[in-house]
Amino acid sequence: MTLPHKVLALHDTMTMEAAYDGRPAKLFTLTNVSGMTATFMDIGATWLSCTVPVSGEGDKSCEAREVLLGCATMADHCKQTAYFGATVGRYANRIAHGQFTIDGETTQVAINHAGNTLHGGPEGYDKRRWTIESPSDSKLVFSLLSQDGDQGFPGNLQVKVTFELTADNTVAISYQAEGDKPCPVNFTNHAYFNLAGEDAGDDCLLHELTINADHFVPTSDAGIPIGVLKPVDQTGFDFREAKSIGQDLLSDPEQVLAKGYDHAFIMPPELTDGISDIAKAVSPDQKVTMAVQTTKPAVQLYTGNFLAGTKGTSGEYRIHQGFCLETEYLPDAPNHPEWPGDSILRPKQIYAHYTGYRFTF
């Protein structure tokens, strides 16, 4: 298929300047028979773009709607701190004080956010050049060797992430890793979605959202769990019935601390089979629906509470311009072994998890 103009332009503008390591990024675009595209780059194993064909208004023909936020140039990408579309690790989300204890041994890892570790540390996997393996029109595999002591994490870790654009319009993400020392491991993709269109100029608050979760994780103002799992019932965190993202925004003390939603929701185990929908979002014009499937025990809803002033593809973003649904182990789970899921990967074990974002248009 002929790629949409905005995708072709991204291949040019994102490679005009050098990345963190002094060389240009490599970009790849996956396509399917429905006319969808998904574009990735080797820096950060980053999901840069996702276009879906939607019908135009009146006599206008079908248009390729960009539903991901992101940057158009490497210079802007290197400046942003939003982790746009990146594969984040070694441990996604937060670890309190950058410390955890395994088998009686306490480890201190690099801190980079309010005295805690966020998304793997200051030089996380989002800033690495990943190796590309056997790309095709529909599938792309990235690999990375994270050495013992990387950001303070113990053990050599061999990582692979596979992106596939399927015939049923799913961006399917599979993670695999093996290490030689016990270590917390937790990967996610940090895509920001606006199903109305990246260039629509609208925030995400009119999107209709469903999250099939009975509990969420309250946190401090630094995003660190306070140690309890709270029912969503009779709170603004109750998305079990579809409602707009903005309907109950800032209606809870926990949200006020975070300036919006930036919280993990715990999935019922029977839904974490990689097939069942754990969440669903619908664009305000009802033209695009996105459903999420995963094998992870939780999903973090983030409503872009600190996006204001970030330069994006179509201009400067505003607060709440996009939302994230980051599938993951719970934040600070290495320090809460009683919580769902085992976030510690041990030698001879294989970390294997799946997340799918299925689009209907």
Catalytic residue among 77, 190, 207, 263: 190
Question: Would the annotation count 93 as a binding residue?
Answer: yes
> Token digits for 54?
């939607």
191 assigned ligand-binding residue: yes
Whole-angstrom Cα distance, residue 143 to residue 222?
A: 31
Catalytic residue among 66, 178, 254, 326: 326
Ligand-binding site membership of 262 (annotated): yes
Find, among 59, 90, 65, 58, the residue nearest to 7 by Cα.
Answer: 65
Query: For 207, how many CA atoms within 13 A lie in the half-sphere containing its CB?
Result: 30
CB 27 within 8 A of CB 39: yes
- Please identify which residue in the block is written with the tokens 């992870």: 296
51: three-class secondary structure by DSSP: strand
Active-site residue flag, 190:
yes
State whether the Cα torsion 128-129-134-138 is positive or negative: positive
Nearest Cα neighbor of 272 from 290, 257, 294 is 294
- Share in percent of the chain as helix, strand, coil (round to 5): 10, 35, 55
CB atoms within 10 A of CB 8: 12
What residues pair up with 358 in beta bridges, in sequence order? Answer: 170, 291
Structure token pair of residue 343: 């976030």
Q: How many whole angstroms from its chain centre is CA 312?
A: 17
Q: State the Cα–Cα distance between residues 191 and 170, nearest whole angstrom.
A: 14
DSSP character for 343? -
Query: Is 94 annotated for ligand binding?
Result: yes
Please answer whether residues 180 and 347 qualify as being in contact, where contact means their C-beta atoms are separated by less than 8 angstroms. yes
113 is catalytic: no
User: Which neighbouring-strand residues pair with 312?
Assistant: 315
Q: What residues does 30 pair with on adjacent strands?
A: 38
- Cα angle 356, 47, 204; round to 5: 75
One-letter amino acid identity for 4? P
Q: Please state the residue numbers annotated as binding site for beta-D-galactose.
A: 93-94, 190-192, 262
Which residues are identified as catalytic? 190, 326
